[in-house]
Structure 1
């Protein structure tokens, strides 16, 4: 493993020129407040501002610094093997609406980039889902047929641009790849010109729904500031302000990502993905010197389960080096995605929150089209129009949830298992475990009857926080590559000092005194 390349910000974040904005102070009013500044939040804010509404965007950390900032930047309606499953679970009409909506979102991003003159390295490329093993061929033939029936220009092929043979692949032409943060930078500029207000470093902590028109919603924040608005959009990956626990219908996973330069002649000229071998997703992006940035994703794991992430990165680098000679690692990072248990994103009015609170989540790793689609749907609903895709993504849907009850039950059992079983398991002797802790490591111990998360930094100093996630009380686990504490139940992530890195938790982990361990 190349020790000089540390896990951190993505290539997109290191090469984007996004403006910065100060925290919200005092009181504010707007027609709409958007919570979260990833592609779903900023796409929605832009659509609302373009329709003439006043908009405030609140971001807990920095612009697009969450899921969107760590994506691979694919814009495609081919989502691995989604269509065969959608047809089986939801019916042919649902699969057609899914294909039409995802394709419309792709076109909308391309059109918006052209309309606003955004230079975001957008390239039209085919998307392929492939397999190398012969036993995967029939499933891909079925997926190609299902995708064609849904309306995509899909075909089954046995050749690709990859530097190794494939047994088969589903291929869809005229998809796209881009620099996602460059695109969002263009949206931000256009939003500000339209009067949109953006505030970073402002975490929303509560929502008070009132009956006094025309501002029935009042958001409170950790800065002490408040915002009153007619409409509230929650676009925070895992939804905050979740009164009906949509979290119970979402599962979490993280993907490791590596990137590095390869000669232009090795560009496979497409976007590729396979479920084989712990998943491999491949695309390239242009570099200033004419070479290509190879981006490889895979080694999927559930956050908070103690996965050996360093070994996962090593496997990805070995895979890239074997298949793309001359690959030179320059970046590595990790992405986190969630998926609804019935395989459809949740976009629309949030259940249990009246009619003026909206949510966008559950994109299952396809958030570039999903986020743009969220902006289109929510803007239509705010405008009083009908959902153009007839409620396919309605968070309040019941039928499809009931049809996938076993998946929902498994997700809930996993949460219960971690919330209850982990507390009953023995955590070992605190003093002995802390003495054995090497620099850069972390462990969970019991101290004074309380679960405690302990990290030893590179200088040997100890940092201790409560190991109880502030969302719903599950125990966190340490991720050694990213040096974070992660919750296995709903994916909240915390720094070694307890600060929130990713929700749905709204409060940091309580700090503890390492001297008392």
Structure 2
């Protein structure tokens, strides 16, 4: 990708635009449950609650189903790469079984909803595969197949797949699914409103006062009073339990486009090798399928995103020679240090505030599962796997200690180390380029637009103060510590930050010079 080339955008968003924006919240509101975030976890929770007869309002800072969910690979599967053998070893066989049951319920609940609402969302049943090409990983795959089978999944070890290259082995789980996530969620949103639920877009929540009722402050002034609050903002908007210390943000790239139907690998595939490669297809046109290839995971704000896009494109076109790439985009998720998502009470003292986060790249089945689990908790009903996902869990935190320490060391490295590195040069910035530069005693995030004008911002992330870095392919400022993202004018694109980067004015000699005075 060239210096000025940007990602073209998500196929899911472009093929299901969703119509005009829904209104922003304009006056104070009182409801049974306020759900913050309108991705798959938030909308699934709101729909389940409304279906149970509760009064629900969904508050979304942007557009519904347009954030992480709008950029997903959209696999609905209980097979999550190599999770079951690790769960068996670290949490025990019962935990592995509960994980399999709960994720399978997420897949099957989606199937029920598609059928009940008659949603045209390109629903297809497909087998899911975790594969490896290196013979040295065969033992790991065999152990995963055994663990997944013992957990109750229809899993087996195989050596043949539909991929256009040979593999050393793969874990195959039959009867999984894939769909068009935005069409699914737009239909869910319409039915939510038909059931009396309220949906507000362009409504950023900025404050939470816990109590009876809880009170939510919004950026533009209106206050929401709610008996219960669900924080489903991907990364916790309010983090009174310091969950961010147990989450690691991960960004991945996507290249996609049509291929001939005879080249369809007929399945959903993923490998941890080659910095992750994920493959699936979707219905397209006569004699064609739409191929979606995901990979090149990295921490936001690190490395050369354009080079990563080039590597992923080269891999995809090498193995699928007739691929005509029409769409490129990126997605982001949070990996929990102990593998299992965090769904339940926000912190140890929480009585009416809940969170859903840390889906580790598997938010489709996980988000739907979270909707069912949170509805049960709010209604005071039992759920067999509430303990497995409880954010307050303690036993697993001992086992996750090495990953926890590694994650915090990485964050500390960015927080301190990035401040010691020399700044970029203002004079060297070309159109479409950005860099963190030192101007006087301050670090500024400076972007030069295609007309040559500069946009200067404080480089301190408004979440916890780490320095942002520029993503040239997506033209965005990204925080490497906790994954907050901002546009070139500093507005929040993705949390946990809720406030924009502060704007700065460059003096003429700064804008024309090096900025290293």
What range describes the TM-score normalised by the shorter chain of this pair?
A: over 0.9
- Residue 417 of structure 1 pairs with residue 413 of structure 2: yes
Confirm or deny: 8 A CA contact 2:344 2:386 kept in the other structure. Answer: no
2:379 pairs, out of 378, 383, 391, with 383
SS at match of 2:389: coil
Confirm or deny: 8 A CA contact 1:427 1:444 kept in the other structure. Answer: no
Aligned equivalents of 1:505, 1:5: Cα separation in 2: 27
SS at match of 2:460: coil
Aligned equivalents of 2:118, 2:494: Cα separation in 1: 32
1:129-208, aligned counterparts within 5 Å? 129-208=130-209
More moved, 486-495 vs 399-408: 399-408
* Structure 2 match to 1:507: 499
Aligned equivalents of 2:135, 2:310: Cα separation in 1: 27
1:373 pairs, out of 346, 353, 369, with 369
- The 1:119–1:4 alpha-carbon spacing in structure 2 relative to 1, beyond 3 Å, is farther
Aligned equivalents of 1:471, 1:234: Cα separation in 2: 17
Confirm or deny: 8 A CA contact 1:484 1:493 kept in the other structure. Answer: yes
Shift of 1:413: 1.8
For each residue in 1:317-367, what CA deviation from the matched residue of structure 2 results, as whole angstroms up to 9, or x when unmatched?
111111112110000000001011111000011105521001000000000
Unmatched 5+ residue regions in structure 1?
A: none
Shift of 1:26: 1.3
More moved, 496-505 vs 238-247: 238-247
Aligned equivalents of 2:454, 2:56: Cα separation in 1: 44
Confirm or deny: 8 A CA contact 1:377 1:388 kept in the other structure. Answer: no
Shift of 1:69: 0.5
* Structure 2 match to 1:87: 88
More moved, 383-392 vs 461-470: 383-392
1:427 pairs, out of 417, 422, 430, with 422
RMSD (Å) for aligned C-alpha atoms: 1.4
Unmatched 5+ residue regions in structure 2?
A: 511-517
For each residue in 1:39-90, what CA deviation from the matched residue of structure 2 results, as whole angstroms up to 9, or x when unmatched?
0000000000000001100000111111101000000011011111111111
Flag as ranges the 4+ runs of structure 1 deviating above 4 A.
Answer: 1-5
Aligned equivalents of 1:111, 1:288: Cα separation in 2: 26
1:305-454, aligned counterparts within 5 Å? 305=302, 307-352=303-348, 354-423=350-419, 425-428=420-423, 433-454=425-446
* Structure 1 match to 2:515: none
Confirm or deny: 8 A CA contact 2:16 2:183 kept in the other structure. Answer: yes
Aligned equivalents of 1:290, 1:123: Cα separation in 2: 17
* Structure 2 match to 1:61: 62
1:93-132, aligned counterparts within 5 Å? 93-132=94-133
Shift of 1:514: 2.7
Aligned equivalents of 1:500, 1:2: Cα separation in 2: 25
Give aligned pairs, total: 508
- Residue 488 of structure 1 pairs with residue 480 of structure 2: yes
- The 1:30–1:468 alpha-carbon spacing in structure 2 relative to 1, beyond 3 Å, is same
- Residue 245 of structure 1 pairs with residue 248 of structure 2: no
Shift of 1:131: 0.8
Shift of 1:451: 1.1
Shift of 1:119: 0.8
Shift of 1:427: 2.7
Shift of 1:315: 1.4
In the superposition, the TM-score normalised over structure 1's length comes to: 0.96
For each residue in 1:444-494, what CA deviation from the matched residue of structure 2 results, as whole angstroms up to 9, or x when unmatched?
112121110011112211111000000000000111100111001110000
More moved, 498-507 vs 314-323: 314-323
